[in-house]
Amino acid sequence: MDKVNLKQKLSLFAGYWQPKIVGELNGQLVKLAKLKGEFVWHQHRDEDELFMVLHGELIIRLRDRDVTLQPGELMIIPRETEHLPVAAEEVHIMLFEPASVVNTGDTASDMTLEKLDRI
């Protein structure tokens, strides 16, 4: 049981679209990720997902609108809601979601990760 310093944890990795696990509670994971460019359209059938921006500007495209998140802003994407994260420049985020989440949801992609590292 140690505290987590987000900036220190973010200094430990460089790759984009590869979330790292930094905490677990009540079957939910806390993750950090660096994003740049465009992800893939996807949805999670059974899991709601929280995005919180720590650095940079994240656009979350929904089928009916785009939402722009700045540092200090968060958004919860309900299950069964198609979304596409887009980062024109590097973005750092914190994610909070069930341990069962697959990063690309029900979309098979080269970006799909089988297993996440803990840092």
Told to check if 73 binds a second copy by CB under 8 A, we report yes
Q: Which of 57, 96, 102, 116 binds a second copy (CB under 8 A)?
A: 96
Region class of 100: left (phi > 0), else alpha (psi between -120 and 50), else beta: alpha
Binding track over 2-41 against a second copy, x by CB under 8 A: xxxxxx---------------xxxx-x-x-----------
Told to check if 1 binds a second copy by CB under 8 A, we report yes
CA atoms within 13 A on the CB side of 55: 13
Pairing status of strand 49-55 against strand 83-98: antiparallel
Q: Which run of H or E residues covers position 22? A: strand 20-25
17 — phi, psi (to 5°)?
60, 30
For residue 3, give the amino acid letter: K
CA dist., res. 103 & res. 67, Å (int): 19
Told to check if 76 binds a second copy by CB under 8 A, we report yes
Closest CB to a second copy among 62 and 108?
Answer: 62
Told to check if 72 binds a second copy by CB under 8 A, we report yes
Q: Which of 13, 18, 98, 109 binds a second copy (CB under 8 A)?
A: 98
State in angstroms the smallest separation of the CB of 103 from a second copy.
16
Footprint of a second copy (CB under 8 A): 1-7, 23-26, 28, 30, 47-50, 54, 62, 67, 69, 72-78, 81, 96-98
